[in-house]
Amino acid sequence: MAGTRIDPGDCDDGYDSALFDASAWPMSDDESGPADADEVDEGPLTAPLSHVRFCVIDLETTGTGLEARITEIGAVKVCGGEVLGTFQTLINPGESIPQFITSLTGISDLTVADAPRLRQVFASLVEFCRGCVMVAHNARFDMGFIHRAAIGLGYSWPSNTVVDTVSLARRVIPRSEVSNYRLGTLAQYFSTTISPSHRALDDAMATVDLLHGLFERIGNRGVRTLEDLLQYSATITKARRAKKTWADGLPHGPGVYWFVRDDQSGRKVLYVGTSKHIRRRVATYFTASESRRRMEEMVSLATGVEALRCHTALEAAVVELRLIVAHQPPYNRRSKQPRHVWVKLTREPLPRFSVVRQVLDDQASYFGPFPGAGAADEAVLAMLEAFPLRRCKDRLALRHGREPCALAQMEVCGAPCTLQGLPQYEQLVDQARQCLAGDARPVSQACHRAMRALSSQCRFEEAGEILQRLRWVEYGLRRQARLTSLAACPQIVAARQVDQCWEIHVIRHAQLAGAGVARPGDDPHRISEAIAATAKTVEPPVGGIPASSIEEAGLIASWLEQPGVRLIQIDGTWGWPINTLSDPITTR
């Protein structure tokens, strides 16, 4: 498949060349991934090799460093020894190709002058490789470029399984038979039909023959399936492979599993995970498909694995979260306790904004939570644009006034400490309290006025800072509305159809109190009534915060907001405020 020829012009590729540090790939999920719910489907691991679709890929680039760009892509799709299709295109890298690269590959600036940019052809490459196991000679290099191009261009790469013919050749062919493991040397050794030429498609075709030659050599060594191939080509200790039997007694279906270590000091939970298929997922920890360095270390320390079957994926995610909070497993990224903070409008004679780490039942007004004190401080600064309450932290009484401070002299504080203008200050506090209840229009108006004034003076950086503070106010108010509204509901019974079943959840004060499944032929209403009758009793929360953790309430809210969720019963009002942060001056 040839890429469409276009005028490259001066358009940007849409990716940062710094992403192309091939030496940094592959990166472990513990360093780059966002979640611990590690359901990983590596494809048909038990499929015979003759039924597996392989996509052999090769790249030509402008070099190997951080600034290197792709100049040519060649890929061949094969299955059962038959070529199913090819993909080939030159790429205009948007920069000059070094002379030594031109002398090696024959690709010059003139060669790629009319070639498309990477962004024009990458979607086609993604579709060509979809459903295939990737193969490359020195896969760390080629797949490193591809992986980072996918990130930079906003694509989800369709394959996580990679076979490196260099690693496989090192296992199969002794060094006494070849001088090195370069593609040219191995192509000559196996007498490939096409000789490598430092052009992408030729090298990919040569790698196809090399792959088939290696398959012939390992067929009599018990390598029959993709899983066998991954295990054979990787270095897995016998001790790790022997622990695969741990998965045999685990349940099928969705749930939570945790690796433990028993020693003289007692039992310690090392890692907690969740999966749609517990037994199958745990089994992958003892094969080459689990390549994360921290997981390999964790498995070597573990003395066993246990599991709990759950009714639904949401229940599994909540149980996983609770176990992580309870045991603080060292190999989970989410083990650190989040440090949530709130902005509080204090209850005292002269109220002020304060950043606190706990919501009390003290009749004060709160909004948040925020991910840290820095974000909350930024939100307070935006609130002060609209409501210039006092900034001092002193406890002030209404009996004796005092001299105005420097902030009052700078006219950034109304100086209520002087006991002058107290009715106006009380009115300002009431307006701030109304804002924290969900009407952020005064803050929006004040911040936009300040931004326009700064922009008219060409003070754009300061205007940008105010915009960021306004966004933190929006973040806090939206998160507060989302969670406190849910926490105020004594009971919500909701269902969502997954496959042919209905997943039913009972939620009380933003805590998951019960879960179950209505299968085909069951009456969902009767099942929901039975789940509600046996669900956990949850006491009303203090101060309007969720009865569960903030993270659990967020999981539940996200599930409720999915398309297709149906409310069977709701006790209370679950809703969001209308008056948020649209600019009334510019909005039509």
pLDDT at residue 15, rounded to an integer: 35
Secondary element (H or E) of residue 374 = helix 373-386
Nearest to 137 by CA among 68, 193, 207, 86: 207
Q: What is the CA radius of gyration of the chain?
A: 31
> What is the per-residue pLDDT for 8?
28
Number of Cβ atoms within 10 Å of the Cβ of 220:
7
Q: What is the pLDDT of residue 209?
A: 96
pLDDT band with cut points at 50, 70 and 90 for residue 2: very low
- Strand (E) or helix (H) holding 78: strand 70-79
**Displacement of CA 482 from its chain's centroid (Å):** 21
Of the ranges 11-20, 235-244, 344-353, 393-402, the best mean pLDDT one:
344-353
Whether the pLDDT of residue 16 is over 60: the answer is no
Both tokens of 170, joined, read 């090192």
Q: What is the DSSP string of 474-542?
A: HHHHHHHHHHHHHHT-SEEEEEEEETTEEEEEEEETTEEEEEEEE-TTS-HHHHHHHHHHHSPP-PPPS
133-136 and 162-164 strand pairing:
parallel
* Burial environment of residue 225 by CB neighbours within 10 A (0 to 12, 13 to 18, 19 or more): middle
pLDDT digits (tens, 9 = 90+) for 263-294: 888 899 999 999 988 998 998 888 766 767 78
**pLDDT over 50 (residue 122):** yes
- What pLDDT was estimated at residue 20? 30
Domains of the chain with CATH codes: 17-231 (3.30.420.10), 236-334 (3.40.1440.10), 341-485 (no CATH), 489-571 (no CATH)
Residue with more model confidence, 114 or 360: 114
What strand order describes the sheet that includes 162-164? 82-90, 70-79, 53-61, 133-136, 162-164
pLDDT-based confidence at residue 66 (cuts at 50, 70, 90): low
Residue of 51, 147, 198, 212 marked catalytic:
198
pLDDT value for 43: 45
Q: Can you give the pLDDT at residue 579? A: 58
CB 347 within 8 A of CB 540: no
In this prediction, residue 37 carries a pLDDT of 39
How many residues belong to the chain? 588
- What pLDDT shows up at residue 338? 65
Task: Identify which has the larger pLDDT, 414 or 362.
Answer: 362
Question: Is 443 within 8 Å of 451 (Cβ atoms)?
Answer: no
Give the integer Cα–Cα distance in Å for 147 and 25: 8
How confident is residue 215, by pLDDT bands cut at 50, 70 and 90?
very high
Query: Quick one: three-class SS letters along 84-113?
Result: EEEEEEECCCCCCCCHHHHHHHCCCCCCCC
pLDDT above 70 for 408: no
CA–CA distance, 136 with 255 (Å, rounded to integer): 36
What confidence tens digit (pLDDT) does each residue in 418-461 have?
666 678 888 888 888 888 877 788 888 889 999 999 999 998 99
Helix, strand, or coil here: 423?
A: helix
pLDDT value at residue 314: 92
If you average pLDDT over residues 399-411, what whole number do you get? 62
Q: CB-side exposure of 470: number of CA atoms within 13 Å?
A: 24
Mean pLDDT of 193-205: 94
Identify the pLDDT of residue 206. Answer: 96
Which own/partner pairs from 172-181 qualify as long-range (CB within 8 Å, at least 24 positions apart)? 172/214, 172/217, 172/218, 173/217
Identify the weakest region by mean pLDDT among 82-86, 295-299, 567-571. 295-299
Residue 288 corresponds to which tokens in the numbers above?
Answer: 């080459």
Query: pLDDT at residue 244 above 80?
Result: yes
pLDDT of residue 346: 86
What distance lies between CA 2 and its chain's CA centroid?
Answer: 34
Q: What is the pLDDT of residue 34?
A: 30
Structure tokens at 311: 């009714």
Token pair in block for residue 34: 């966002």
Judge whether residue 409 has pLDDT over 80: no
H/E run at residue 210 = helix 200-218
On the 0-12 / 13-18 / 19+ scale of CB atoms within 10 A, 132 is buried
- Whether the CB-CB separation of 258 and 305 falls below 8 Å is answered with yes
State the Cα–Cα distance between residues 54 and 76, nearest whole angstrom.
8
**Is 33 a residue whose pLDDT tops 60?**
no
Higher pLDDT, 34 or 74: 74
Q: Is residue 583 over pLDDT 50?
A: no
Please check the confidence at residue 411 and state whether its pLDDT lies above 70. no
Q: Is the pLDDT of residue 521 over 70?
A: yes
Structure confidence at residue 397 (pLDDT): 62
Active site (annotated) includes residue 400: no
pLDDT on residue 575: 76
Three-class secondary structure of residue 127 per DSSP:
helix
Q: Is the pLDDT of residue 249 over 90?
A: no
State the pLDDT confidence band at 260, using cuts at 50, 70 and 90: very high
Mean pLDDT (whole number) for 260-265:
89
Per-chain mean pLDDT for the chain: 82
Residue 586 CB-density burial (10 A; 0-12 exposed, 13-18 middle, 19+ buried): exposed
pLDDT of residue 161: 83
CA 57 to chain CA centroid, Å, is 27
Where residue 275 falls (left for φ over 0; alpha for ψ -120 to 50; beta otherwise) is: beta
Q: Which of 137, 123, 326 is nearest to 233 (CA)?
A: 137
Task: Report the Cα–Cα distance between both ends of the chain, in Å, rounded.
Answer: 48
Give the single-character DSSP code of 225: B
Which band of pLDDT confidence, cut at 50, 70 and 90, is reported for residue 573? Answer: confident
pLDDT digits (tens, 9 = 90+) for 138-185: 988 999 899 889 988 988 888 778 899 998 998 889 888 999 999 999
The encoded tokens of residue 447 equal 């911040």
What does the pLDDT average to over 319-345?
83
Q: Distances in Å between the alpha carbon of 423 and those of 413, 414, 428, 429?
A: 15, 12, 9, 10
Q: And the tokens for 57?
A: 């890929």
State the Cα–Cα distance between residues 256 and 515, nearest whole angstrom: 15
Q: What is the pLDDT of residue 392?
A: 74
Query: Over 80: is that where the pLDDT of 187 sits?
Result: yes
Q: What confidence category does residue 241 fall into, taking pLDDT thresholds of 50, 70 and 90?
A: confident
The candidate with the shortest Cα–Cα distance to 544, out of 345, 343, 367, is 367
Residue 106 CB contacts under 8 Å (≥ 6 apart), including other chains:
198, 199
Q: pLDDT value at position 255?
A: 92
91-108: string of b/e by CB count within 10 Å (b at 16+)?
bbbbeebeeebbeebebe
